[in-house]
Structure 1
Amino acid sequence: MSLVIDAATQDLLFREARTANTFTDEPVTDEQVQAIYDLVKYAPTAMNSQPLRIVLVRSDEARERLVNQMGDGNKAKTGSAPLVAIVAVDTDFHEHLPTQFPHYPGAKDAFAEEDARIPTGSFNASLQIGYLIIGIRAAGLAAGPMAGYDAEGINKEFFGDGKHRVLAVINIGRPGEGAWFPRNPRLEYDQVVTTV
């Protein structure tokens, strides 16, 4: 094998990992979430930017507000997951870039205009969401990422200042009974990879 991680780790992170649709009632602690974040924050992005913002939905009031914005097929599982995270892009992410950026001189100034910032921020935050899901799996938990929701409604309910925009909602916890839908087939190597 050309991989350096063992087969059990490969299974945990990829081959056996699935999107969970039901969860047990075992809580997901703040300590677990911090351990996940403290691992995945080192994963690569363009210019090492970190535009991802995470809102942990824990209170009943916030959960109800979120469930009201979810598509019908996502309401029940969002209402019952031990933890739900709203993941968003910070449209002012450039404010956290170093002033002196030796590898990318002028990078911070390049994002003065929102037209340049939004696509770059969304791309890098989306990369970070992928890393976050792998981190959740590395913690022995399952993730249920969803895109079926009213984005404008979530932005209004949770990001009233307009500086953050939802990219996904992720249910997090230990998989419950009947958690897995049948896995769709995956494309083979030669269907995806070409060499030029």
Structure 2
Amino acid sequence: MSDMLTAEALDIIFREARSYNGWLDKDVSEDQIHAIYELLKMAPTSANMQPARIVWAKSSDAKEKLAALAMDGNKDKITSAPVVAIIGYDIDFHEELPWLFPHTDAKSWFEGDEEGRKEGAFRNSSLQGAYLMIAARALGLDCGPMSGFDNDKVDAEFFGDNPRHRSNFICAIGYGDRTSIFERSPRPEFDKFNRIA
């Protein structure tokens, strides 16, 4: 890697990007969903574990079911979005490591350590959820990440056929309505929360 992104690209991904609460009536296609995934999967996870398991709630029925399991303040954000990604994780991600990380017997690192797998899967699926947002923004879409839902009920409704999968957070994706965002909240200067040792 040698070339830095342009200032415009950095604005799109970071400086001017916002978390949206409302959406324009404009579809996000299945091709766009696939394009987001094709980018996010390339970003690093520990031992390439790729623990994220994502359900893309695109149909009205799926979004209504998800909204029914969310806090009141999130219901409209979910139902009005073109698509909402439910970012989950697989506790048994290690079963896929023989082909995802073929350089060594990485599966053995995690066998017999379910708590360690849960920790690793949660951390790395959180990373993948962040990569998802970066990918969506890079492709010209806006995001509205959320918690504020009943994880156990979402797991039963959307991951019920995979009982070793758990929900982490959700992210609405579409074309944001700028009237739905608040003023930018403060961002700390480097010295506030950082030090170079």
Q: Which amino acid aligns with 2:115?
A: D
Secondary structure of the 1:181 match is coil
* Partner in structure 1 of residue 47 of structure 2: 47
Q: Which amino acid aligns with 2:84?
A: V
**How many residues in Structure 1 have an aligned counterpart in Structure 2?**
192
* Partner in structure 1 of residue 194 of structure 2: 193
Measure how far apart 1:193 and its partner are: 2.0
Cα distance in 1 for residues equivalent to 2:167 and 2:184: 26
Secondary structure of the 2:98 match is coil
* Partner in structure 2 of residue 163 of structure 1: 164
Secondary structure of the 2:179 match is coil
Q: What is the percentage of aligned positions where both structures have the same residue? A: 43
Q: Which amino acid aligns with 2:120?
A: T
Q: Which amino acid aligns with 2:22?
A: T
* Partner in structure 2 of residue 172 of structure 1: 173
Measure how far apart 1:109 and its partner are: 1.2
Backbone CA RMSD of aligned residues? 1.5
Q: Which runs of 5+ in 1 are unaligned?
A: none
Measure how far apart 1:179 and its partner are: 2.5
**Cα deviations by residue, 1:41-97 (Å, 9 ceiling, x for unpaired):** 111111111001111112232222111101111001111111111110011111111
Q: Which amino acid aligns with 2:154?
A: I
* Partner in structure 2 of residue 144 of structure 1: 144
Normalising by structure 2, report the TM-score: 0.92
Verify the 8 A CA contact 1:110 1:116 in the aligned structure 2.
no
* Partner in structure 1 of residue 25 of structure 2: 25
Secondary structure of the 2:65 match is helix
Verify the 8 A CA contact 2:98 2:106 in the aligned structure 1.
no
Verify the 8 A CA contact 1:57 1:63 in the aligned structure 2.
yes
Measure how far apart 1:107 and its partner are: 2.0
Q: Return 130-139 or 182-191, whichever deviates more.
A: 182-191
Cα distance in 2 for residues equivalent to 1:59 and 1:22: 17
Cα distance in 1 for residues equivalent to 2:89 and 2:150: 16
Q: Which amino acid aligns with 2:187?
A: R
Verify the 8 A CA contact 2:20 2:178 in the aligned structure 1.
no
Cα distance in 2 for residues equivalent to 1:190 and 1:108: 40
Measure how far apart 1:192 and its partner are: 2.2
